[in-house]
Structure 1
Amino acid sequence: MTGDPVPHAGDAPETSAINAGALSPADLAADHAMATLAGSVRFLLEMTPVNADDVRAEFLAHPENDPVFEYRDLDVDPDVLDAQVVALPIDDVEDTTLAALLRNRQREMALRVEMLRARNTPDFLQLSIAQYGAVLPALVSRAEGLLDTLPRGRLEHDSVDAEGFLAAAQAEIDHYRSIDPDVGIHAEIRDDISGILVDGNTLLISNNAAVAAPRVNALLQHEVGTHLVTQVNGLAQPIRMLGSGLAHYDETQEGLAVLAEIACGGLTAARLRQLAARVLAVHSLVGGASFVETHRLLTGHGLPAGSAYGITMRVYRAGGFTKDAIYLRGLLALLEHVADGGALDLFFLGKFSLEDLPLVEDLDGRGLLTAARVMPRYLSDPAAAARLHDAAHTDDLAALVNA
């Protein structure tokens, strides 16, 4: 696809006429069954320690001892979930494009079941690498270059607490409800998570959350304007897996979410350093370093001890969760896509990987996808497209800092 990298938020996209006969009821039933099953597993929550904030102060006071994390009981029985994944009627899907997408997601779901089964055991790390890919030397080198180039140290800002961020998130959600009153997205404060994350159609905010004031809008565009908007649009598609997420959608989703931070003018030096540090933390983990050693590595690169703890916790949780390397990798892949003339419009219709874009283009070309119910608010900023264009055409990632 060529042309503008993003559509204008004020433009009314043309609605494709759905060819009801193109996908059989059996094909759609298989897709819907998979979407229902995928939506029933709160995968990210299952990977998140319930005591990460509680042990933070103890570790920072004694950073020579690895912290011990605790996890919630699994909401699902991995054996039952495994049987449900195997029983999905994917082999009977007639449409070749849909069949390829669903088979890939079925394989990924089976791998995620194994990750749930192996949570907090020595087997987990290799499963995580299989899911999220290896961290290649070029990415590590790029991350090291950013940490060497970007300003170090703590920049003092007023911070917004959990209640303040919840109010901002609810205002952002109200914006989308003013466009479509049936948008079913929510935000809530929880005491059993660390940080801020999206689970299904809900933005979850730790009761200990503190967000630097200059980061509030960028974080809203990341979480609400990307993760929740694509979930809303995906679930409205005839192919419901676009809401639950197709195989390996995470990397492109996170890259798109960081692009939102750039587009709204909210990417800070500290945030870009954080993304680079996550890559180094994953690389250190895979290399056999302990929690303490990786934390020391990050503070040696100039990260404040508290920030280094948060990054290390995210990477070492569950036995070695390598997902955090995909943020920078996904960003670089999408910047290259835009630089090559690729558009981003289809990525707002649901959750899928850049590698699956040709298959999604095929579905769209056959009139099987509907127009977005809502588009990210940041696209209403006339400068957003210019910021994305400039970001895609620079080799200096540090130049992406625009806040």
Structure 2
Amino acid sequence: EVMLSDGIVSDAAAGANNIKLNQDVKFSQRELDILEVHEGWIHVGTTQNGLAQPYLTCLSKGTPSSTITQEGLAVLTEIITLKSTPRRLSKLVNRIQAVTKVIDGAEFVDIYRDYVAQGLSKDDSYTLAQRVFRGSTPTGLPFTKDIAYIKGFVLVYNLIRVAIQLGRIDRLPLLLVGKISIDDFRLISQLHDLGVIESPQFVPPHFKDLRGLATWLSFGRFIGDLSFEKLENDYKPLFL
């Protein structure tokens, strides 16, 4: 279920079986596509998978320790499904930079002006600056949750790479059994083998086709080892 809400600061928020959209925000179709996979497939999906567990329904409850993994899974899903955009990724990076600046002493107006100087609209600049100070004061410390998105992506991405290297991609859907942390992954696997935890019921397409996921990430690792500077020198004349 998707509903409009006037009680959230962010653009959207996932509940146990619904997604709330900020009624004051106008969304493009691409932004709705991102929210579908991020909030729906991952956040609502892992909640429902946790509720479906025969014994440990507590896995449906997100704890602070699970936030980084959950957001990392969601961002990874945006990218793998080709829903994300350069603008979306730029926002995630900008939020991290803003948090760093606030830690170093920047105030709300400094962050706002910095975003405007980067070419963002005044509305977007205010909204992004507001995120950094959620629950704080204009001169207070930052709300650092936004760091979780990229940190989580890096952690989940590398977990999957190692699983491919070890030939254990069959374990990857267990990331979706509920609101878990990567630190709990080994324990979750053991409990699954004992029959205490069941495999997730709601699994995004890219986690169902593990061969495709393994191929995608394997090529990504290979391409990442190439020298971009040399590639740029080779291909740049083609665009001049």
Percent identity over paired residues: 29
Structure 1 or 2, whichever has the larger Rg, is: 1
Where does structure 1 lack aligned partners over 5 or more consecutive residues?
1-185
C-alpha contact 1:282 1:315 (8 A) present in aligned 2: yes
Work out the CA distance in 2 between the residues paired with 1:282 and 1:338.
Answer: 28
Determine the C-alpha separation between the residues in 1 that align with 2:98 and 2:57.
35
Deviation at 1:298, TM superposition (A): 2.7
**Map of 1:188 onto structure 2:** 3
Of the three residues 117, 127, 143, the one matched with 1:300 is: 117
Q: Contact between 1:259 and 1:388, CA under 8 Å: does it hold in 2?
A: no
| 2:30 aligned partner | 214
1:46-195 superposed matches below 5 A: 186-194=1-9, 195=11
Alignment partner of 1:345 is 2:173: yes
Please tell me whether residue 310 in structure 1 is matched to residue 119 in structure 2: no
CA RMSD of superposed structures (Å): 2.5
Residue 394 of structure 1: how far off its partner (Å)? 5.2
Tell me the distance in 1 between the aligned counterparts of 2:89 and 2:17: 27
Distance change >3 Å, CA 389–CA 309, structure 1 → 2: farther
Q: Deviations over 1:22-71 (max 9, x none)?
A: xxxxxxxxxxxxxxxxxxxxxxxxxxxxxxxxxxxxxxxxxxxxxxxxxx
Instruction: Indicate if the aligned counterparts of 1:339 and 1:393 stay in contact, CA closer than 8 A.
Output: no
TM-score by length of 1: 0.48
Match of residue 266 from structure 1: 83
Aligned to 1:204: 20
Separation in 2, partners of 1:382, 1:347? 13
Q: Given the superposition, is the C-alpha separation of residues 390 and 302 from structure 1 closer, same or farther in structure 2, using an over 3 Å criterion?
A: farther
* 2:187 is aligned with 1:372: no
1:254 is aligned to 2:76 = no
Q: 1:363 to 1:383 in 2, by over 3 A?
A: closer
How far does residue 188 in structure 1 lie from its aligned partner after superposition?
1.2
- Structure having greater relative contact order (Cα 8 Å, sep ≥ 6): 1
Contact 2:43 2:74 in 1 (8 A): yes
After superposition, the C-alpha distances for 1:98-124 in whole angstroms (9 at most, x for unaligned) are xxxxxxxxxxxxxxxxxxxxxxxxxxx
SS in 1 for 2:21: strand
> Using the alignment, how far apart are the partners of 1:302 and 1:393 within structure 2?
34
Cα distance change of structure 1 residues 247 and 365 upon mapping to structure 2, 3 Å threshold: farther
Q: How many residues align?
A: 212
TM-score by length of 2: 0.78
Which residue of structure 1 aligns with residue 60 of structure 2?
243
Q: Measure how far apart 1:388 and its partner are.
A: 4.6
Aligned to 1:226: 42
| Corresponding position of 1:124 | none
Correspondent of 1:329 among 143, 148, 151: 151
State how far apart, in whole Å, the 2-side matches of 1:246 and 1:317 are: 19
For residue 288 of structure 1, give the secondary structure of its aligned residue in structure 2.
coil
Query: Partner of 2:92 in structure 1?
Result: 275
- 2: distance between equivalents of 1:371 and 1:216? 28
Does the 8 Å contact 1:225/1:378 carry over to 2? no
Contact 1:233 1:348 in 2 (8 A): yes
